[in-house]
């Protein structure tokens, strides 16, 4: 299956790399020429525009920061719609609002172009290892056609329902994720204040009912003061903004999520927008006047 890829950031670059390694023919487009050049050496075709990417194959995958970026790439000058023929499939693997997803799908359908929303979970490490969790919304028959693409990128691929259901699932994932991240930061701060050895606390908690991915993966990074991004604070805040807007539309209260969003704002206010999300602990440290390490 000839496939196009638009967006070669912290997630998009390793994901496009995995498609090449899986034997797909891939055309790539990015605003960073050096990233396209590196993938060219692996066999990718460097495209001059999103429309050229769409002309290359049957599927165009986008991994972009937010809905305005997606809209520009799809419908702007030299956009995907200018190069895609009827039956072409657009797969959006970033996180945008379910509402925007449904609107884009409807606009594409007017031109005979199909769309799947397929956001992912697993961060940079999952993108590199091709172990992402992929949650997909759209038409079932289009999902089935594109399943080989998804299997080259992740280990858990689940069809969630019509357009927007992939994005709605991702919002639920982000709620659960930031709340477990907050719990790890609070537990480690309490452990240090109580005179415990935090590494031993991680060992105990990860073996019992308090275990979580964040405990095992982000806890050690907090203790090591390793705030390198697997997922940026600023992008997490974008996701939490979408969560808040969607929850308000649905009339669902999310008080704990709102609190974590405010704590991430503290991290951003101190210049931490480009840090990894584990830097959430620094907001609590400022409040407590002590560190977890």
Q: Which residues pair with 227 in a beta bridge?
A: none
Q: Which of 68, 65, 81 is nearest to 30 (CA)?
A: 65
Nearest-angstrom CA–CA distance, 95 and 130: 18
CB burial of residue 166 (10 Å; 0-12, 13-18, 19+): buried
Q: Which residues are catalytic?
A: 170
Tokens of 61: 């995958």
End-to-end CA distance of the chain: 49
Contact between residue 22 and residue 44 where contact means Cβ atoms under 8 Å apart: no
3-state secondary structure 219-240: HHHHHHCCCCCCCEHHHHHHHH
Tokens of 107: 């606009």
Nearest-angstrom CA–CA distance, 106 and 114: 9
The beta strand positions in 1-149, using DSSP E, are 2-6, 25-29, 45-46, 59-62, 89-92, 114-117, 120-121, 132-137
């Amino acid at each position: 299956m000839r496939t196009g890829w638009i967006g070669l950031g912290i997630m998009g670059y390793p994901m496009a790399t995995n498609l090449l390694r899986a034997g797909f023919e891939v055309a790539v487009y990015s605003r960073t020429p050096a990233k396209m050049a590196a993938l060219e050496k692996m066999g990718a075709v460097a495209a001059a525009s999103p429309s050229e990417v769409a002309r290359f194959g049957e599927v165009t995958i986008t991994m972009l920061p937010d809905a305005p970026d997606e809209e520009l790439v799809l419908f702007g000058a030299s956009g995907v719609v200018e190069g895609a023929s009827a039956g072409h499939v657009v797969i959006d693997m970033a996180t945008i609002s379910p509402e925007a997803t449904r609107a884009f799908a409807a606009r594409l359908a007017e031109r005979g172009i199909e769309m799947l929303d397929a956001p992912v979970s697993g961060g940079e490490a999952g993108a590199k290892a091709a172990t992402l969790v992929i949650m997909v919304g759209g038409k079932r028959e289009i999902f089935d056609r594109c399943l080989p693409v998804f299997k080259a990128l992740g280990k858990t691929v689940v069809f969630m329902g019509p357009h927007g259901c992939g994005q709605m699932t991702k919002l639920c994932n982000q709620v659960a994720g930031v709340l477990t991240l907050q719990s790890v930061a609070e537990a480690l701060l309490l452990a240090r204040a109580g005179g415990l050895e935090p590494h031993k606390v991680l060992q105990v908690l990860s073996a019992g009912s308090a275990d979580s991915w964040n405990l095992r993966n982000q806890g050690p990074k907090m203790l090591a003061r390793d705030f390198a991004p697997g997922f940026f604070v600023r992008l997490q805040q974008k996701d939490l903004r979408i969560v808040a807007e969607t929850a308000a539309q649905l009339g669902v209260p999310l008080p704990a999520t709102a609190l974590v969003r405010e704590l991430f704002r503290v991290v951003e206010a101190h210049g931490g927008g480009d840090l990894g999300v584990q830097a959430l602990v620094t907001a609590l440290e400022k409040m407590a006047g002590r560190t977890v390490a």
